[in-house]
Amino acid sequence: MSSMAFGPDGILLVGDAIGGAVYALDLKDRAPSSSNKVAIENIEAQIGSLLGTDASDVLVHDMAVNPISRNIYLTVSRARKQWTSPWSLPNDVANAQVLLKVTPAGEMSEVSLKAVSFSSISLPNPIDPKALHKWKKTKKRVDAVSSMAYADGKIYVAGLSNEEFASTMRVIPFPFSDSQSASSLEIFHGAHGKYETHSPVSSFLPYQIAGKHHILAAYLCTPLVVFRSDQLTDGANVKGRTIAELGNGNYPMDMVAYQNKGKNYVLVINSARAPMRLDADELNATKENITTEASPGTGMPFVHTRGQGIQRAEAFGDENLLLLARGPQGNLELSTVLNRYF
């Protein structure tokens, strides 16, 4: 269970990097809710109680919110004690072991995968299980699925393949059929000053830019790139346009689209920098195209927002963001914050 996203009709999509597949789970979770508030103070203590361990060993891998029921899904493991490097992501440290459901009121239970109805599709040619990252020394296979999103009948799966140009975006029509495409992605990495094809997309959103369907993607260290979705055909080598350099020494952990006072924004959540707000009007208008070495802040402007220690952010209804964030006491908190504060 490497990555999660919600498909249509409350279907939970789960990417499995190790097995090289995407699963669509029907958890029959479709009772609509208009709940607007979540406030769980120390979610690792709750998860630890379920897993029989201390909060300090609970590792939350990913989070997704069912847009219909507003139930929150978390993939977790007992492995945070092994997370010792700022360059590791949870999937580098361990495989997620349990899928949990948390209601907005805070009731936590395991989602048993025993009698779940599901469909699945294999991802052809995922990166070799033995490949090691050059300096992280972690298994590259965990990034066979690095991030996933669903939009307009298609599942977008970013990750690493076994092709010469490893960074890949797969487009899989859903419901699953026989067809899927895989395109290799090439980007100019401003902070590194060169073109790259080996680093996986860290976080992305399907997004309308200038009236056309795009993929807005961010990578480790931290180029912000746009790809035109109509170019993502099978076997194509797609060059992205780097529109901003968000800064080195940083993982873009998550991206979420939201509205504030009627205007559209995208918030980029970072491992080692404050959250960055991108203005949709700027995205539509920008002609930036970084092709030389660039320092942090080059390119399209962004605004640092409030928010400390945020690991994950999801939309929670139209007015709130649901944030998984570590507070001043060191406790991991799951709580909603109004969009207007971002």
Least Å distance, CB 77 to other proteins, is 9
User: DSSP states of 263-278 as a string?
Assistant: EEEEEEEESSS--EEE
Alpha-carbon span 322 to 315, nearest angstrom:
6
112 binds other proteins (CB under 8 A): yes
Out of 14, 59, 74, 98, name the contact with other proteins by CB under 8 A. 98
Pick 97 or 248: Cβ nearer other proteins: 97
110 binds other proteins (CB under 8 A): yes
Out of 9, 34, 52, 328, name the contact with other proteins by CB under 8 A. 52
Q: Do the bridges between strand 3-6 and strand 12-16 make them parallel or antiparallel, or are there none, so unpaired?
A: antiparallel
Out of 5, 11, 14, 51, name the contact with other proteins by CB under 8 A. 51
Which residues in 239-268 are b (16+ Cβ under 10 Å) and which e? bbbbbbbbbbebbbbbbbbbebeeebbbbb
Least Å distance, CB 327 to other proteins, is 18
45 binds other proteins (CB under 8 A): yes
Out of 2, 3, 46, 184, name the contact with other proteins by CB under 8 A. 46
Counting residues that bind other proteins (by CB under 8 A) gives 16
Out of 35, 36, 82, 97, name the contact with other proteins by CB under 8 A. 97
Which among 18-26, 104-112, 250-258, 308-316 is the span making contact with other proteins, rule CB under 8 A?
Answer: 104-112
Alpha-carbon span 192 to 194, nearest angstrom:
6
49 binds other proteins (CB under 8 A): yes
Residues, the chain: 342
Alpha-carbon span 290 to 188, nearest angstrom:
7
Pick 51 or 65: Cβ nearer other proteins: 51
Specify the residue for token string 């980029």: 268
Least Å distance, CB 145 to other proteins, is 24
53 binds other proteins (CB under 8 A): yes
Pick 38 or 169: Cβ nearer other proteins: 38
Q: How far is CA 69 from CA 33, 177, 197, 199, 339, in A?
A: 5, 27, 39, 35, 20
276-279 sheet: strands from edge to edge: 252-260, 263-270, 276-279, 303-304
Least Å distance, CB 126 to other proteins, is 21
48 binds other proteins (CB under 8 A): yes
